Structure 1
């Protein structure tokens, strides 16, 4: 999934007009209409693109425009969702993943990029929480003290915001496991994703199950399990029905490496590469990015496994 918006050129041109309007009510109406368009995702222009570099270069301007619109309409849930998902996706696809790719050649640069990715994730999480608080005031504070109570008020409508907020925190924690503030949010992260799963497990063709593939494997010594990770993988691939490469990459990286299962690792990544990126146009960019990671992982296979 990546930045599902209506035509970026049309939307951003509209944004420029909206921000320069002088009448408060007209300006607010224009901004809210644009926010609705950005949140609906019916066109998915960026997500359908086949050129990751083009999207990478265009995304920062789009995100800053969204932030400018949020300044004008701070409680617009659609804009807050667009910011939460956008900063998180940009941080992973074009900052953290690039850091992974260059680490062997430039460790200092990779470290700097990961810190930047963490900051982007935290920014995304903040927007996600703000989006939920539009409907549930005080959600942020209650989440850390009584996660079950806070989440009980969420509905299927909140699944996208729950997903991206939890994903943002989880990605930030994976970068900096020594961050104590993030560490104490682990229960909240897991419960938010569990709630999202209960409310709509089909969200984005099973993407919530992708999260649990990695989460369960990473927490095998603290209540998680590889067996549960495999169950989530099975369900993710069932829901995706050959339209998404991410479950195969996640399973290979989270489980096959930890079990030193080279044969499974190679097989899973080949399955990821076999996904037709044109089969589900709304998943095209995400699949291209996942396949890029699959190729990189395969190129490192001799370093990742001990015979």
Structure 2
């Protein structure tokens, strides 16, 4: 009973803002590994606790993205071996988180994990409720993030249709989830996945504008996602620059619960601006300052 009470307290409403509302990324980077292991220990004693499953799994995904993959991608080119090691670590953490989240879906809907393979996924998707959207979102984010780091993983690649259908259902149930997180997800998904596997560049702009609208332009993340996933492949330097400048102009106090994610996104924006000559053929380090 005591363990369950602690689990309820640590996964209740407002508990996540202890991390996401902080202004010190280094403090959170140091605290999260202990927090994750603590949640894992609690989950071992309360394996059916849906709040613990969601929190533990999503923390793995968030930690891998914000504090492993993100910094790894900003390492200088000469540290390619270190970068490769960190990217592989991030990939493994994404999958660990996704596996935990999958147990939550399986416990709520017996047979969920085999539904796509058996051709009965649609019947399971119909059972989903709005409360299931966080599980779906973080599970898909973990799998697709791992796949993005190794697109030669055929097993994960074969799961794209399954995940695409699940995210589409989540969008039907709660299109405003987490201030437009699903729209930001679609910006990355539709712009980076081949059309034959679910990508659709024609839908990117719509979801980008929706992400900005739903976040009330108070999140830096959508601007950074658009600059990196859309502007770089299109070699659109003007929009790349303006998008990142918009990210840097976001007032982190406008949404106190999102201070940390905004600070991390703005760090990424500064890096991308400084490294622009590495991404655009028309630029070099000497002429970039003229833009």
SS of the residue 1:105 aligns to: helix
Pair 1:225 & 2:200 matched: yes
Q: Deviations over 1:186-217 (max 9, x none)?
A: 11221121111111111110001111001101
Q: 1:244 to 1:40 in 2, by over 3 A?
A: same
Instruction: Kindly report which structure 2 residues correspond to 1:227-266, keeping only aligned pairs within 5 A, or say none.
Output: 227-266=202-241
SS of the residue 1:302 aligns to: helix
Q: 1:298 to 1:41 in 2, by over 3 A?
A: farther
Of 81, 87, 106, which aligns to 2:54? 81
Aligned to 1:181: 155
Q: CA deviation at 1:255?
A: 0.6
Aligned to 2:128: 154
Q: CA deviation at 1:76?
A: 0.6
RMSD: 1.3
Pair 1:172 & 2:131 matched: no
Q: CA deviation at 1:119?
A: 0.7
Of 65, 73, 96, which aligns to 2:38? 65
Aligned to 2:263: 288
Of 240, 252, 255, which aligns to 1:277? 252
| Structure 2: stretches of 5+ with no match in the other structure | 283-291
Q: Distance in 1 between matches of 2:10 and 2:77?
A: 38
Aligned to 1:121: 94
Pair 1:305 & 2:277 matched: no
Q: CA deviation at 1:220?
A: 4.8
Aligned to 1:199: 173
SS of the residue 2:266 aligns to: helix
Q: CA deviation at 1:74?
A: 0.7
Q: CA deviation at 1:224?
A: 2.5
Instruction: Kindly report which structure 2 residues correspond to 1:88-103, keeping only aligned pairs within 5 A, or say none.
Output: 88-103=61-76
**What TM-score do the two structures reach when normalised by structure 2?**
0.93
Q: 1:103 to 1:37 in 2, by over 3 A?
A: farther
Q: Distance in 2 between matches of 1:231 and 1:199?
A: 19
Q: CA deviation at 1:123?
A: 0.7
SS of the residue 1:248 aligns to: helix
| Structure 1: stretches of 5+ with no match in the other structure | 1-28
